[in-house]
Amino acid sequence: MTELANIFLKHGYDVTMVMVEMPFKSSDSSASAIQRIAASNPSINFHALLALPAPDFAASGKHPVLLFLQLLRDCNELLEAFLRSIPRKRLHSVVLDMFCIHALDVCVKFGIPVYTFFTSAASCLSILTQFLAQIAGRQTGLKELGDTPLNFLSVPQMPASHLIKELLEHPEDELCKAMTNTWKRNTETMGVLVNTFESLESRAVQSLRDPLCVPNRVLPPVYCVGPLPDRSVVFICFGSKGTLSAEQLKEIAIGLERSRQRFLWSVRTPAGSHDTKKYLEVHPEPDLDALMPEGFLERTKDRGLVIKSWAP
């Protein structure tokens, strides 16, 4: 999001980033992390919404993602108060992170043009956008399909089992419904900015512009943040909570080495557990020597950089 803000600055806009300070211990969302980002980007204004009381993750019995989405929704009142403090003529538009989509209600209330920033790939957005059609009318989840291929417009077939596992549950499952609603609302804004460039994912981008993508529904315009500038590198980062398994990290390393492309890779300690209660735990720094294939760091040191946690 900070990189996108810098692009807006280059086009002559003043930019304020509104951030949610999480009420639980996290190396990613603490006040010090926000201060660090702000110090590195002095041309951007930063406003942190006051932290709300932390949900009782242990007692609720709900998946942490549900509580996390509810926490973001509960910040709407704080966001509304902040927007009220800004003269309307100075508010050109609001760009929402894809997980903060319920703030759309606040923007509509003020009549502010609002856009979504989808930080994953266009192919991912296309699949998630078409997902509702896959489960429409189903009385059971997709889990029972196993590896049966699913067909998506302009996106290669994929086994049902390769979807986000929470989306394989019964369509009326609370988490499945919350996630599908989030993806649907991401395409109910005035436009979607996607973290890709068209020459990389031309088929997926075109699928989102195709009237057949979602029957009986017109999707908003889709804008790619690319094209890539000269001397670009491959940047690999799966977000604040994107902890992969040790096996997946090794597979990524093998792919990077075989690609022979320059890269910057932000690595986090493997989750090591599917226990949802551990979702928001702060993990120790990763042991790169133990996680990477033997000799990988030495063989790629002249064209790649592997770092722990945040990228500089």
- The active-site residue, picked from 56, 74, 97, 275, is 97
Residues present in the chain in total: 312
Residue 177, Cβ neighbours under 10 Å: how many? Answer: 14
What tokens appear for 167 in the block?
Answer: 């989306």
Q: Has 287 been annotated as catalytic? A: no
Residue 285 identity? E
What tokens appear for 306 in the block?
Answer: 């592997």
Side-chain-side CA neighbours of 63 within 13 Å: the count stands at 12
Burial of 240 (0-12, 13-18, 19+ CB in 10 A): middle
Which residue from 106, 185, 172 is spatially nearest to 139, judged by alpha carbons?
172
180-190: burial string, b at 16+ Cβ within 10 Å, e else: bebbbbbbebe
Distance from C-alpha of 278 to C-alpha of 85, rounded to nearest angstrom: 38
Which residue from 247, 235, 219 is spatially nearest to 119, judged by alpha carbons?
235
Reduce the DSSP state of residue 170 to 3 states and report it. coil
Which residue from 20, 11, 21 is spatially nearest to 43, judged by alpha carbons?
11
Q: Any idea which residues carry the catalytic annotation?
A: 97
